Chain A
Amino acid sequence: MKKFMATSLVAVLFTMTIPAMAELNVFACEPEWASLASEIGGERIRTYSATTAFQDPHHIEARPSLIARVRRADLVICSGAELEVGWLPLLQRQAGNPSVLPGKPGYFEAAAMVERLDIPVVLDRSVGDVHAQGNPHVHLDPRRIQGIARALQTRLIEIDPDGKAYYQSRLIDFNQRWQQATEQWQYQAKKLKGTRIVVHHRDWVYLFDWLGIQIAGALEPKPGLPTSVGHLLSLKQALASNPAAMIVHTTYQNPRAAKRLAQMTNIPVVELPYTVGGDERVTDLFSLFDVTIQRLMDGLQ
């Protein structure tokens, strides 16, 4: 036993390599934040995304590999607003890395940087798994992304003051491109204003708020609860008198419920990428909105 431990310790010390460059290790809870961090941090940071577009960020295992990543992180970027409440606190507590604990500069909560929607009036679990600080899926509104990008730049400068000029110029460049793209998206999506769409979970609140889309209903009877036949029937009834243009779901949600409702109502189903990596064409935040708006427009036809 002891011999085994001694050999493994030596092996671990041997494989420990310290990077030569003073790069910041950025641990992003979700791919959208890894992408945003790359936009602002460029070559001064190395990003790692804890999740992919195919994983529900509400339900992630506090895996050993994630603890190991947080251990070496200089900055942890997450949505916050309790989205990661089931796993992030465990990673932070077990990693032995004080610089990324809540309240420290190394912990960046994107949702805390912007105004949030869906802040519950009543906090009661009988209405589902609601987040006390509001809806955490803030990355689907380009206006909010801009605010978060600015806050992230400030935070990067705080952690890595040597890179101040670099981060500032990256932000200016990003803002320029983002502003332009936002205007174009808004133009492309003009027709979506007032459209009624059925959602799986309320992941789309910020996107819809931005584009003026109305939520015609949710496949989840209550946030976090799987759909039921009874709930689909009541949705069908509601949609009969007040129809919707499409049903949307993310890559990590099972499309079965959406397809079932589509069969019942003849409303088309549209899968949206939700985040970076959710479609092979979605490689960054820009293409995320490109594809999302294109899919929504296609769904409208």
Chain B
Amino acid sequence: MRNRSLWIGFLLALGLGLSIALTQQQEVDPYKEAERQRELFRQTAGILPGELYAAQGEELFGQKRGSKNVSLEACDFGLGPGKLEGALTQLPRYFADTRRVEDLETRIVSCMVNLQGFKPEEIKRDDVKALTAFVASKSSEMPINVVPKTSQEIAMYNLGRELWYHRAGDRDMNCAICHDSYAGGKVRLSPVRSPRQGLSNEWPAYRFEADKLYTLQDRIAFCYESVSIHPPDHYSEPMIALSIYMLTEATKGKNKFTELPGFTR
């Protein structure tokens, strides 16, 4: 009897030890973890944080604002004034009215300035982010379709490719050495994808680890920060150039956007 309980105790201890060893070996799959976190949000809040940002953006979009007291409903994102369905899929692109290549975020700022009469310094970054989330939500799960055609778009793509390979900073980094040469690997737990594999297809997204909405520009800035390079200003050429480069490559790889705004770590 005594022997038997000893045996049971021994087996229990062995099982406990094994299960501890197994949980230590097991690494969290970041995609599954994001999915789990997303479900928890659905259950407790009934709405995803990204959807809240988009709803906020929708309200801003329809409000009469700025010195000209008009809404953004006449803003042309490339498919005609007020056409939002699939607008993000073909951005960045060249706009004749501003005579520059613009991504979604830059285009929103242009419309706030030219249509609504805001001064650039009056524009709040949070408003642009919410508006970006709203307009992007109209391209959820659609195929990416960025194909540089005009000379300006091709030039911007070439600039982006050059920046992509530009090694600099104390960490001797560029984008390509991780996102091309070692695509498929992991930095800590983060899987690293190449543009052709669809890198950039989930932004704007809510990052639950940061509890913030990140646009593609925010994500590029975060990348530069993590390799100790001071990020370029929002709406500047490096931001637009890198965006058109990545999204053109994602188009070549026949990628779709994820649910937008995305939900990620």
A and B bind: no
Give chain B's interface residues, CB within 8 Å of chain A.
Answer: none
Give chain A's interface residues, CB within 8 Å of chain B.
Answer: none
